[in-house]
């Protein structure tokens, strides 16, 4: 089927090729299967843009996904690290959502209880604004060390301020001296291109301390592939894992996987592991997913093109009836949804509950970000929800402000 027949946005391509020049950064196998491309998308999704002009002129680049047939890893083969701009202007937190906070608290308590993490020291690589690290310290009476260039000192949680040391930097071997009982890394590995090298570096910094628990959380690409969820694919996410490909790089880098499962309505992979010297073999059923991942990549073209066509038609139908539609969620999903579909004036505003984003503009498209209260006067007819798990929370806000708009979850 041709690009035009699939009614695809400009700049989107599903051309399949096997590129022998590409090397998997997860297992170092030569040759990746290219299956999805998007041109001219912003290189960051969560940078605070102060004006529409700055937002629309923000640097753009290309995304080209390649699948490793040996380990099931997916990577943006056009990623260039020089575009990275992680700073205090990077606003990634989900901590203003009651739904997300409940999940984070449950997860923290589960890990603390299972591994008896009380009065320990926890090092979090990529701690963001520090909310999860604060939870781990509060719930387990632990101490913490958080490393992240986007950390903002004035947002340090008051309850645990005296128990946590924050370092505004990227983690590397220079921090091998930091002593901890637990190393936590949530939603960070997907921003790192040389994943195997990073895991080997982490293993090297641990050295002979075999009792250290390693705890990672990151998005599950299997769901993205099966659902055709193009809004979960964006430039700064340069790497994409299935549970199996994540476990494989952990084992290859010198870790034995203790637990591996999906959480948050199947959106996130949770893995816990311990450093080892000997080779280990897959021991958890969910690790054996290579054939499933291969099939999901094969089916992605039809699924994703159908989803793209659906949303293009849906938005055009709303506009043709002189009705108003807003997008709820100005984070990476919202940026990808808008820029991948090439949405312009059809959508006037993007809503977010994070007050630090209000009055700012979406990188790439320049859409203004507004508060839920703004809808009280704007009164949209439809709200496109960028993550269905928040529908109940969003509906409560709409009811609070007397907005009768219909929710359209992606």
Residue 237 domain-assigned (yes or no): no
Whole-angstrom Cα distance, residue 120 to residue 211? Answer: 12
CATH number of the domain that 399 lies in?
Answer: 3.40.50.720
Is the sign of the CA dihedral 81, 199, 266, 32 positive or negative?
A: positive
List Cβ<8 Å contacts ≥24 apart for 269-272. 269/216, 269/217, 269/218, 269/219, 269/220, 269/241, 269/242, 269/243, 270/107, 270/215, 270/216, 270/217, 271/215, 271/216, 271/217, 271/243, 271/246, 271/247, 272/111, 272/115, 272/213, 272/214, 272/215, 272/216
| Count of domains for the chain | 1
| pTM exceeding the 0.85 threshold for the entire prediction | yes
Tell me whether residue 398 is in a domain.
yes
**pLDDT for the residue numbered 5:** 45
In a domain, 174, yes or no: no
Phi, psi angle pair for 186, to nearest 5°: -115, 130
* pLDDT of amino acid 6: 56
**pLDDT tens-digit profile, the chain (410 residues):** 444 445 688 899 999 999 999 999 999 999 999 999 999 999 999 999 999 999 999 999 999 999 999 999 999 999 998 888 887 888 899 999 999 999 999 999 999 999 999 999 999 999 999 999 999 999 999 999 999 999 998 876 666 778 999 999 999 889 989 999 999 999 999 999 999 999 999 999 999 999 999 999 999 999 999 999 999 999 999 999 999 999 999 999 999 999 999 999 999 999 999 999 999 999 999 999 999 999 999 999 999 999 999 999 999 999 999 999 999 999 999 999 999 999 999 999 999 999 999 999 999 999 999 999 999 999 999 999 999 999 999 999 999 999 999 999 99
**Domain-located, residue 404:** yes
The pairing of strands 74-76 and 60-67 is antiparallel
125 falls within a domain: no
Does residue 278 sit within a domain? no
pLDDT in the model for residue 3: 45
Q: Is residue 159 part of a domain?
A: no
Q: What is the dihedral of CA 309, 76, 262, 280, to 10 degrees?
A: 150
Would you say residue 349 lies in a domain?
Answer: yes
User: Residue 401's domain spans which residues?
Assistant: 321-409
Question: What is the 3-class SS of 249-296, one letter each residue?
Answer: HHHHCCEEEEEEEEECCCCEEEEEEEECCCCCCCCCHHHCCHHHHHHH
């Amino acid at each position: 089927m041709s690009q035009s027949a699939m009614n695809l946005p400009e700049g989107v391509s599903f051309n399949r090729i096997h590129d022998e020049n590409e090397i998997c950064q997860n297992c170092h196998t030569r040759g990746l299967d290219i299956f999805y491309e998007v041109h001219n998308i912003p290189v960051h999704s969560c940078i605070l843009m102060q004006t529409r002009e700055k937002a629309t002129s923000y640097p753009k680049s290309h995304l080209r996904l390649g699948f490793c047939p040996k380990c099931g890893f997916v990577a943006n083969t056009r990623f260039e690290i020089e575009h990275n701009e992680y700073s205090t202007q990077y606003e990634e937190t989900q901590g203003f959502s009651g739904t997300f906070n409940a999940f984070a608290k449950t997860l923290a308590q589960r890990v603390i209880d299972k591994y008896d993490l009380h009065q320990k020291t926890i090092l979090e690589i990529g701690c963001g604004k520090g909310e999860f690290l604060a939870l781990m310290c509060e719930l387990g009476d632990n101490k913490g060390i958080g490393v992240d260039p986007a950390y903002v000192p004035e947002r340090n949680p008051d309850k645990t301020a005296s128990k946590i040391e924050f370092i505004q930097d990227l983690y590397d071997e220079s921090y091998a001296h930091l002593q901890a009982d637990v190393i936590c890394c949530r939603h960070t590995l997907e921003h790192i291109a040389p994943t195997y090298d990073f895991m080997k570096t982490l293993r090297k910094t641990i050295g002979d301390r075999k009792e250290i628990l390693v705890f990672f959380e990151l998005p599950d690409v299997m769901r993205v592939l099966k659902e055709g969820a193009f809004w979960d694919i964006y430039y700064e996410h340069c790497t994409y894992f299935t549970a199996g490909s994540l476990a494989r790089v952990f084992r290859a880098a010198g870790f034995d996987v203790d637990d591996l499962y999906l959480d948050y309505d199947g959106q996130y992979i949770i893995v816990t592991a311990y450093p080892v010297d000997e080779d280990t073999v897959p021991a958890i059923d969910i690790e054996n997913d290579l054939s499933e991942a291969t099939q999901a990549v094969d089916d992605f073209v039809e699924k994703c093109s159908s989803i793209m066509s659906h949303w293009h038609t849906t938005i055009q139908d709303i506009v043709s009836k002189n009705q108003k539609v807003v997008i709820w969620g100005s984070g990476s999903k919202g940026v990808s949804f808008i820029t991948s579909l090439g949405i312009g004036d059809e959508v006037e505003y993007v809503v977010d509950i994070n007050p630090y984003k209000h009055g700012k503009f979406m990188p790439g498209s320049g859409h203004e970000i507004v508060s839920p209260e703004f809808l009280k006067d704007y009164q949209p007819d439809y709200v496109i929800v960028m993550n269905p798990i928040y529908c109940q929370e969003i509906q409560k806000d709409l009811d609070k402000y007397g907005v009768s708009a219909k929710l359209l979850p992606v």
